[in-house]
Each structure stands twice: as C-alpha cells, then as structure tokens.
Amino acid sequence: MYNAELQELVDKYLSGSLDLKEAHILHQLLGDPQQEEELKTLMMDHLERIATIDYHYPETGSRIMQAVESRLFGSEVMPGPVPAPVVPFFRRSWIRYAASVMVIVGLGTYFLFRFQPGSGTTPQKELPAAPLARDIAPGKAGAVLTLSDGRQLLLDSLGNGLIAEQSGTTATLREGRLIYSSGKEEKVKPQYNIMSTPRGRQFQLTLPDGTRVWLNAESSIRFPISFSEKERQVEITGEAYFEVTKNAHAPFNVTVPGKAEIVVLGTSFNINAYSNESSLNTTLIDGKVKVNGKVLNPGQQIRTGTGESIVGQADLEKVLAWKNGLFNFNNASLPEVMRQLERWYDIEVVYEKQIPVIEFGGEMSKEMTLVNLLETLKASNVHFRLEDNRRLIVTP
C-alpha cells in the first residue's frame, strides 16, 4: 500500500498543482531511504502508462534523460531553505525512474520562483496553456555567413564540407561548426567575414588561429580571414564565448562597438553585450583579460553601464548556461526571463498591463518547446497567451 501522503504529493507534482510548501515536503520524502520501495512502485505504475512515449520517440527520451541526469547527479543544490540531500550512488537507479516520469509528462525540471518582498503576490495555481497547435519549437544550430565579396551563405542549409575559399583561407563546415584554416600567406588587403545568428539560432566558429567561438542567438562576429603577426582583432554584438589560442606575440582583442575593448593573451571568457540589456557583462573563466583598462581575475565579472564599470564575483553557472544548453533564471526578473525567450524562440513579448515584480530561480533545458517552458512558469502568478503571429501576451 502506498504511503498516502507520498502518493498525493507525487500526483500533485504530475498534475502541476504542487505548491511551494508541498514541494519541500516531497523533496524531503525523496531523500528518505524508507520511502524507496513505495516510490519506486508508484513511479513504475506511472511509467507503464506513458512508456509508449519513449518507444515512439527514442531521441526525445534520450535527450530528456541526459538533461535530467546532468541536473540530478551533478553539483545541484535545490534552491530554498531545504538543503538537497546527498544521493548515494546505489540509489540513483530508482531516482532515475522517478525523474523520467516527472520530466516526460512535461514538468522538465525542478523550478522555484521567489517573490520580491512587498510585491504582494501569491502563487497562482492555474495557467491557461496555449493550444499545442500554436506551440513553438526551441532554437537550433544555424547562422548566416557574409563573405568579403558580399555573398551570404545560410549555414544551417548546407552540409559538411568546404563552403568557401578566399585568398588561400578555407571555410569548412563540420558537424555544426564552421572552421577556418589559413593556407599560404598572400599579401593582400585584409578581408573580413561576418557570422551572424538570427533569433532562434546559435553556432560555433573556429577562427584562423584556432580560437573557438560560441555565438548565442541574435549575435554577430566580424573577423579577418587571416590574422596579422602582431595582433588579432575581432568585433562582436550580442553574446559570445571565447576559448582563445595563446600567442604572446599577437594579443587577441575583442571590440564591442562603442562600449568596450577587451585585450586577451590566452584565455576563456564570455561577453554579453546585447543592446537591450542594462549593462555589458564580461566574465573571465580562465586566464587574463583587460576590459577598458581594468584587469580581471578568473571568476570575476565586469559590468559596464552608463559611465561606470563594476568588478565582482560571477555566477559562472548562470553565465555559461546558454552555451551548455540551459536557461538559468537565478535572481532574474520577469523582463530578463522574457528577453531570453524572445531570442531563443523568436517571439515578441508584450505586457498587457503593468509588469509584475517577480524574481525567478532555477534552470531549464533549452530543448523544451515554448508551451512546455511556459507550463513550468505557471506558479509565478503570471498568465500567458500565445498568439498565431508569434506574439506572447503577458498578463498578471
């Protein structure tokens, strides 16, 4: 016989009606070894009902399980006052059963929200879900490459192989990454290419010196097809992550037009320079960079706003979430969350009334469809209406 409390909480979780207090109670029960057999039996009953999902959609099932296991068995700490218990290795198998059920039915990941003091808001238990016919798929790999002669190539429409050759430099597509290789040096006027990602697209690039670049949605990078011996200069908009090939004789410089100059010797760092964000954020992962004259140490971030620059410790998981296929909404306001959704799902967000004052926390996979992601946000006391023209209406 199932523990009545456990069964009720799991049923509420699966139906999406679990409130914050009940979520903490369920979390404690999941960490109790005495509940192991009952939970396993309960989960297996649910699995039998939905097992056909994984049978008919094995690729979806595989991606789901990878995302779940990376969150469950990594260094995750559950937000809120209840600490996450340490899960011994021998108990992971049955927790996988539980996690698979909870994810497959559409909840995706454990997600908490926090209301700012004084907001006067309370959890809302119902969220009108948009019809599935209007659902929007997540973004994917893709970009537009503009060559020095003005020709444009849609990279997500091309297969692997050589796609361009310019003055001895080749550009080759290989498994979702564009790789530049310099051939014999030719004394010609510098030639520049531009890679740009529209909304709903990301792409990877290897520059002629071996430096790797990850380009987020709605971003661009302008670079020479061959670097000089004395310096390496690129220009970006939007957001990009760099792993720079070391060359003490040729510093690597990144320019954000009108906003920042980043000087690098050999390092890994992230630049968030979206024009609709309140500040330009440069985060150093490893090595050494200088931003507008200020030197950063690994783990630090410099925020450049209106006339001032502030250096502090960075939340690296949050900074790198986009590169790792995740949304990280820790300490994010509703407008911050919506701006990320606009870029990734290529939508327009419109606020019907006053913007609710809400602070979020948690991570979600970027492979979720828009409707499923909105479903996880339903406890935030905000309603959503998705229209046919890719417009998302936010109503309090």
- Which are the contacts of 354, defined by CB distance < 8 A and separation ≥ 6? 396
Query: Is the CB of residue 113 less than 8 Å from the CB of residue 357?
Result: no
342 φ/ψ angles, rounded to the nearest 5 degrees: -60, -45
Extract the tokens encoding 362. Answer: 């948690």
How sure is the predictor about 158, in pLDDT bands with cuts at 50, 70 and 90?
very high
Is residue 313 scored above 70 in pLDDT? yes
> Which pLDDT value is given to residue 248?
87
Find tokens 């954020």 and name the residue.
281
CB burial of residue 233 (10 Å; 0-12, 13-18, 19+) = middle
Query: Is the CB of residue 82 less than 8 Å from the CB of residue 28?
Result: yes
Is residue 5 scored above 60 in pLDDT? yes
pLDDT digits (tens, 9 = 90+) for 167-190: 989 999 998 899 999 876 556 688
Of residues 338 and 108, more confidently modeled: 338
Angle separating helix axes 36-56 and 58-72, nearest 10 degrees: 140
Residue (of 288, 227, 219) closest to 256 by Cα position: 219
Q: Give dist(CA 143, CA 276) in Å, integer.
A: 21
Q: Supply the CATH classification number for the domain 140-320.
A: 2.60.120.1440
CA 235 to chain centre: 22
Reported as half-sphere exposure (CB side, CA atoms, 13 A), residue 128 has a value of 10
Query: Is the CB of residue 225 less than 8 Å from the CB of residue 210?
Result: no
> Which pLDDT value is given to residue 297?
93
Burial 278-301 (b: 16+ CB within 10 A, else e): ebbbbbbbebebbbeeeebebebb
Strand, coil or helix: 346: coil
Domain 114-136+321-395 belongs in CATH node 3.30.1540.20: no
> Which pLDDT value is given to residue 40?
66
Is residue 30 scored above 80 in pLDDT? no
How sure is the predictor about 296, in pLDDT bands with cuts at 50, 70 and 90?
very high
Q: Give dist(CA 230, CA 247) in Å, integer.
A: 10
What residues form DSSP beta bridges with 394? 351, 384
Residue (of 156, 158, 143) closest to 202 by Cα position: 143
Burial 71-107 (b: 16+ CB within 10 A, else e): bbeeeeeebeeeebeeeeeeeeebbbbbbbbbbbbbb
> Which pLDDT value is given to residue 58?
45
Is residue 69 scored above 50 in pLDDT? no
Extract the tokens encoding 291. Answer: 């931003």
pLDDT digits (tens, 9 = 90+) for 96-152: 444 444 443 333 334 444 334 344 444 444 444 444 347 899 999 999 999 999 999
> Which pLDDT value is given to residue 82?
36
Domain locations along the chain? 4-108, 114-136+321-395, 140-320
Q: What is the DSSP letter of 217?
A: S
From first CA to last CA, the distance across the chain in angstroms is 42
Helix, strand, coil percentages for the chain (3-state, nearest 5): 30, 30, 40
